[in-house]
Structure 1
Amino acid sequence: MKNRRLFWRIVEEIENMINRGDYPPGSRLPPERELAERFEVSRPTVREAIIALEVRDMVEVKTGSGVYVLETSEKVPEVKKISAFELTQSRALIEGEVAALAATSITEEELDAIHQTLVDMENGHMEEADKAFHKIIAHATRNTAMIITVENLWELRSSQAEIISDYASVCKKENAAQTLAEHTAIYNALKTRDSSAARKAMHEHFNRLINALFDAIEARALEEVRRKNSEKRGLYSLDNLVKARA
C-alpha cells in the first residue's frame, strides 16, 4: 500500500507540473534519476508513474531519447484536490438528508434490496454491498438531483489517489461487525419510516468513519516519523565505529 501511495503521488505531481505549463507539449521531462531525487522515491516508483502517464496519453517514452510531453486537443483542467475528510463530511451531510427523505418514500422492494446488502456484508462482500446500500437509499428518494449527487460523491471516492489511499487504510482496519451494525441501524430506521432516526443513524455511521480516518492518518504519520528517525539513526550512530575500535 505504501508503494501504491508513492506511485500515485508521483503521477499527480508530474500531471500538475504539466498542467501548470512547467513542461509544455513537446518538452522532455527530467531524467528518471533526477525525478527520483526530486520526489525522494526509488527509480522503479518513478518508472511506474511514467507508465501510468503514458497510458493516460500525457507523455510519450522514446527509447534512448527520453520522456516527452504530448500535445493535447484541449487544455486539461487542473483537478482541485479534495481530502477524504471533506468528502466524508459532505457525504454525511448530504446522505443524512437523503436517508431522511428516503424514509418517507421507500418501497418494500427497496427495503428487501437493502436487506440483501446486509446479508452480503455478513458474507464478506463488504465493498460492493456498501456501495449498493447507499445507492438504493439514494434512488428511494425519487429525487434525481440527490441520486446524481450521491453517485458523484461515490465517483470522487474512487477517482482521487489520496482519497483511495486514505479510505483503503481505514477499510483494512475496519471492524466488519461494527460497520454491519451501523448499516443495520439505518435500515431499521428506514423500515419504520422514521426520518429523524434515519438521518441520525447515517450521521453516526459517517462520524465513526471520520474518526477512523483521523486514527489511520495519525498512525501513518507516526510510522513515517519512525522510519525517518531510523534512517537518521543508521546514518549518524557511532555504534559501528565504536565496535570497530573495540
Structure 2
Amino acid sequence: MTRTTAGARKLYQQVVAAVGASIERGQYKPGQRLPSERDLAEEFSVSRPTVREAMLALEIRGLVEARHGSGIYVTDTPPVEAAAPDLDIGAFELTEARVLFEGEAAALAATTITEEQLVELEAILVEMVEENAGDAKGEQADRRFHVAIAEATRNAAIVTVIETLWDLRYRSPLCRHMLDRARLVGVKPRIDEHRRLLDALKARDPQRARKEMRDHLERVIEGLLAATEIEAVERARTEVAKQRTEYARRRVT
C-alpha cells in the first residue's frame, strides 16, 4: 500500500482498509493475533499513533479485539460484512493539527490579549481545577480556556478554526472513542501546563506562549499514547469490573 495508490484517504484509514481486506481474504483468521504495533508501523510506513488509531477503528467495527497482555486479535466471529461508519478523525491526528494552529494562535494572542481577557483565563483555570477534582470530565473549562486564547487574537477566522477543532473531538466517533479510553484511565487536563501558558500570555511573550502551547499539546499526544496502551486499558476495565461486582455485592447484602 502506498500513499499514491491510496489517493486522499487518511493514513489510518489506509491501514484499516488493508488489514480489513487481509481479514476478509483469510490472511488473518478468527482468533489469530495480528502483527505487533511496531511491525504494522514498519509494514505500512506510518507512525505508531496512526497504527493505534487504525486498531481502535477496527475494534469499533468489530473486526478485532484487544487481549490483556497479549495483543490485538481477530475476533472469533468477525462480522460477515463489517460496518464501516465514517470514523472521521482520530485523537492523534486532531491534536497534531491543534499543535500547529493553537501554537500560532497563542503567539499572536500574547501580543493582543487584554487585562480583562487575562482575568477571564484565570477564572476559567480555577473552574478547570474544580472540574478535575470532581466527577466532571474536565473538558468544558478546558475548551473555554483554549477558545478564550483564540478570541484574544481578535481574529474571527482563527476562533472559528479552533472551535471547529474542538468540536471535532465530539463529532468524530473514533476521536470520541479514544478520548473516552483516555478518561477511563484517569487522563485529565494538566493544570500546571495551562498555568505556564497563562504566565507566558501575561508576560506578553509570543515565543514563550507558542512553546508552552505546543509543549502542552505534544504532552497530550504522549498521554493519549499511554492511555490507549492495551495493558493500561485492560487494567482500567478490570478495576471497573471489580467495582461493579463490589457494588452489586453491597446491594445484595
CA contact 2:105–2:153 (8 Å) conserved in 1: yes
Mark the runs of 5 or more structure 2 residues left unpaired by the alignment.
1-55, 63-76, 239-253
Separation in structure 1 between the aligned mates of residue 128 and residue 232 of structure 2, nearest angstrom: 31
Separation in structure 2 between the aligned mates of residue 143 and residue 195 of structure 1, nearest angstrom: 16
Change beyond 3 A, Cα 1:222–1:9: closer
2:115 equivalent in structure 1: 108
1:9 pairs with one of 60, 75, 87: 60
2:173 equivalent in structure 1: 161
Shift of 1:80: 6.7
Separation in structure 1 between the aligned mates of residue 110 and residue 213 of structure 2, nearest angstrom: 12
2:45 equivalent in structure 1: none
1:201 equivalent in structure 2: 212
2:199 equivalent in structure 1: 188
2:155 equivalent in structure 1: 143
Larger radius of gyration: 1
Aligned AA (1:207) = E
2:91 pairs with one of 84, 90, 93: 84
Relative to the length of structure 1, the TM-score reads 0.57
Query: Does residue 39 in structure 1 map to residue 50 in structure 2?
Result: no
Separation in structure 1 between the aligned mates of residue 233 and residue 127 of structure 2, nearest angstrom: 35
Separation in structure 1 between the aligned mates of residue 233 and residue 149 of structure 2, nearest angstrom: 38
Aligned AA (2:193) = E
Shift of 1:38: 4.7
Relative to the length of structure 2, the TM-score reads 0.56
CA contact 2:226–2:232 (8 Å) conserved in 1: no
Separation in structure 2 between the aligned mates of residue 220 and residue 162 of structure 1, nearest angstrom: 20
Shift of 1:215: 1.2
| Number of residue pairs aligned between Structure 1 and Structure 2 | 160
The correspondence of residues 18-29 of structure 1 with structure 2, limited to 5 A, is none
Tell me the SS of whatever aligns to 1:39. Answer: coil
Mark the runs of 5 or more structure 1 residues left unpaired by the alignment.
12-36, 41-48, 50-77, 228-246
Shift of 1:109: 0.9
Shift of 1:96: 0.4
CA contact 2:227–2:233 (8 Å) conserved in 1: no
CA contact 2:113–2:153 (8 Å) conserved in 1: yes
Separation in structure 2 between the aligned mates of residue 185 and residue 111 of structure 1, nearest angstrom: 13
Identity %: 39
Query: Does residue 132 in structure 1 map to residue 148 in structure 2?
Result: no
Tell me the SS of whatever aligns to 2:164. Answer: helix
Shift of 1:132: 0.5
